[in-house]
Structure 1
Amino acid sequence: MSVHTARLKVPHGSGATTAARTAARSALRLWGFTNTDWLNDATLVITELVTNAIRHGGGLLALDLRAVRGQVTVSVTDRTRVRPHRRRADLTGGRGLSIIDALSRAWGVRPNHAGKCVWVLLPTSARPGLA
């Protein structure tokens, strides 16, 4: 059984989301996830998770990736125990959880010593009709 894990060091500040997206995409490609549509969806989910942690979670503490038997789980740890909730979409945001719902197999939240961890289980292939 092939297991891959990565804890990505993400800088604080304006480049955090770009750095997280780039590093995560590189790790997933290295692990053999090469379908462009799947990678685009995974990268979008990672972008939303990191952005939400920075904007609403008191700052990103950790970004973890885990791949086991083709199943990829992305986890983001932030500094607050406040659970994510849907906001009304407007010009500044509010679409993150809808995007995560649409592109993931499942997602959830678990508290931890630092605040909370939001995890997402990605589907094993690109959205139907895109492969």
Structure 2
Amino acid sequence: MTALRCEDARRIAKDALAAHGVADRVVDDVLMVVTELVSNAIRHGGGVTRFDVRFAEGDETVIVEVADASPQPPHTPGTPAHVPGGFGWMLVNRLAERTEIELGRAGKVIRACLAGAAGASGVTGGVSGAGSAG
């Protein structure tokens, strides 16, 4: 079984967003959040254990969920602006209307909710990848 890669997650998300007519501006934001959360799960969380993109019922909100194997919450290390890295979590929080973190012994789930998915109002369901590509 092949581990979920950033490009796979972006493709899954882009297909789900296109199927629901999500505005281009929101698509760009969602793809950036997907990239940051998946790459952080791979780099710092022991890999992606679950990935999901769905739409909140009765709302114009896109929900991106990424689970990984680390029980440690994400953090912003206070890196100076001239030093590369350390800005992904801050970027996710800027783009998302809200973020939620569920910590457990076997890892964590990070949920980013992005508003403004015109065309997705009232749509439920999602596209999931259980940490595998293919």
TM-score range, shorter chain: 0.7 to 0.9
**Are 1:53 and 1:60, in contact at CA under 8 Å, matched by a contact in 2?**
yes
Higher relative contact order (Cα pairs below 8 Å, separated by 6+ residues): 2
**Are 1:11 and 1:19, in contact at CA under 8 Å, matched by a contact in 2?**
no
What amino acid is aligned across from residue 59 of structure 1 in structure 2?
A: G
Identity %: 34
Question: 1:58 and 1:24 mapped to 2: Cα distance?
Answer: 21
Structure 2: give runs of 5+ residues left out of the alignment.
119-134
Give me the TM-score of the superposition, normalised by structure 1.
Answer: 0.78
Aligned-pair RMSD on alpha carbons?
2.0
Q: Which runs of 4 or more aligned residues in structure 1 lie more than 3 Å from their structure 2 counterparts after TM superposition?
A: none
Give me the TM-score of the superposition, normalised by structure 2.
Answer: 0.76
Question: 1:81 and 1:112 mapped to 2: Cα distance?
Answer: 6
Question: Number of aligned pairs?
Answer: 113
Residue 5 of structure 1 aligns with which residue? Answer: none
Deviation of 1:20 after TM superposition, in Å, equals 0.6
* Partner SS, residue 82 of structure 1: coil
Question: 2:2 and 2:98 mapped to 1: Cα distance?
Answer: 27
Residue 50 of structure 1 aligns with which residue? Answer: 38
Structure 1: give runs of 5+ residues left out of the alignment.
1-9, 127-131
Deviation of 1:124 after TM superposition, in Å, equals 1.7
Residue 119 of structure 1 aligns with which residue? Answer: 111
